[in-house]
Structure formats: structure tokens, C-alpha cells
Amino acid sequence: MDAKVRLYVDQPLGRGQAVAVGPDQANYLFAVMRLAPGAGVLLFNGRDGEWLARVADAGKRRGVLLCEAQTRPLLAPPDLWLLFAPVRKERTQFIVEKAVELGVARLVPVTTRYTQSERWRHDKHVAHVIEAAEQCGATFVPDLAGVQPLAQVLKGWPDGRELFWADEALAGQSGAMGSSALTGVIAAPAAILVGPEGGFSEEEKALLRGLPFVRPMRLGPRILRAETAAVAALVLWQAAAGDWR
């Protein structure tokens, strides 16, 4: 493979398909990466798999790439959502990046009682999702929902989707709410919920415990940071019920 660059584009991909390139991507491809006509680029759009394309026209502010051959089919993730409370900046980026790598269909940022409320910059996080997909070789790009209060997301919860609640309070406990991490995990459609650094409030815990679609999930005997809990829960779910089986 002679392609050094892997790029997300929001255009159809297929044999012989011409893909127009706008100012930002033209700058990156032709000025930063110095790709000349004939150079290979890997493209994906989240729907048509990954394609090898060649530079057909390299302008200062625009260009054209021509799709040559599919290099990878689309690998769609299971219908798994990740609900997470935004934490500190790099750690939120980390949750987003790892969720893309591990394979989720939808990311749902939720605010909770103890969420550190920096402003949620949706556009920036959409860019993180795309960047993570570009860098890890993903052919699918998870949907990023707008940020909403947890209670509101739970209120409009869709039928038939179980919600696995990675409950920090279960660390070190056994029995009762503390079902083992790998038992009772069921297949898609499903969702995982991880809280903020401060955990959930008593009110939120009571709400979660009372909902029929919520299942507490235990993640070992140690206290995990929010982003570690997110990754651990995704890995366990993927291995037990998802496409890692």
C-alpha cells in the first residue's frame, strides 16, 4: 500500500468515483503532506468501506481524488451506545477515541449532578470522533448525540435496549447489585453508562435502580477512573455480547 494518508470524506465512494476536496483537505493533502497527482490516499465515509484513491487534480484550494479499489469493506459496530458524563478535557477526548476504536454505534454525552460543567463543544468532539476513526483504521464513524441531561435521556429511553450501568459503587462489593462483570450481559441493542469523576448522586442512583432496563455492571474490585470504566465496560460487553466474540 503506497498511501500514507487516511481521510474521512462525506461523499459517496465507489469504483471510478471522483471525490472533490475542499480548501482544508486540499491544504493538508497537497501542501502539508505534499501529495502530487498519482499519489495514493485511503478514503472512508462511514458507509462504503475503505477505498484507495489517487490524486487526479491538486490545486491550492481544491482538488479531485479518483477512487480506484476498495481496500476494506465496511465494518459496522454492534448497535451499542455509550452514555458518558463529560470529564476533564483530555479524558473526554480519550473516552471518545477509545469508543471509536473499540466499536460503538453512538456516543451520548450526558450531564449529571456531579458533571464538571465545562461547555460541551459539540463540533470539536465531532472532529475528535472523525480523527479517531482516521487514525485507528475504522471504516465506521459513530454518531455523536448532542449533550443532554441524563434524566432526559432516560425518560425517552427506547424499548428493547438494555442499559448497563458501570456503577463505581460496586467496586469491592460482591453479591446484591454486584453481578459479575460478564454474566447477564446481553446482545445488542444495548447501551453502557459511565458516570463522572464524582460518581452519581443518591437521587440519580435511586432513579437508575428503579428503571426496568437498567442493569448494574461490576468492573472488578478496584476503583476505576471514569474513562477507564468506559473502556473496561466496552471491552467486556464486546467480548461477551458484541463482535469480539
List contacts with a copy of itself (CB under 8 A). 75, 94, 98, 101-103, 135-138, 172, 180-182, 218-225, 228, 231-232, 235-236, 238-240, 242-245
Pick the closer one to a copy of itself by CB: 103 or 195.
103
CB of 14 to a copy of itself, least distance (A): 22
Name residue 42's beta-bridge partners.
Answer: 6, 52
**Residue 131 contacts by C-beta under 8 Å, 6 or more apart in sequence?**
none
CB of 226 to a copy of itself, least distance (A): 11
Nearer to a copy of itself, 30 or 140 (CB): 140
Closest approach, Cβ 94 to a copy of itself, in A, equals 8
CB of 133 to a copy of itself, least distance (A): 10
Q: How far is the CB of 134 from a copy of itself (least distance, A)?
A: 12
Question: Helices (DSSP H) in the chain: which residue ranges?
Answer: 23-26, 89-102, 122-136, 150-155, 202-210, 226-241
How far is CA 79 from each of CA 19, 76, 190, 219, 242, rounded to the nearest angstrom?
Answer: 29, 9, 7, 22, 9
Nearer to a copy of itself, 48 or 50 (CB): 50
- Which of 63, 51, 46, 49 has its CA nearest to residue 17? 51
Q: Which is nearer to a copy of itself, 98 or 215 (CB)?
A: 98
Nearer residue to a copy of itself within complex by CB, 13 or 236: 236
3-state secondary structure (DSSP) of residue 65 = strand
- Gap between the Cα atoms of 224 and 226, Å rounded: 6
CA distance 213 to 95: 24
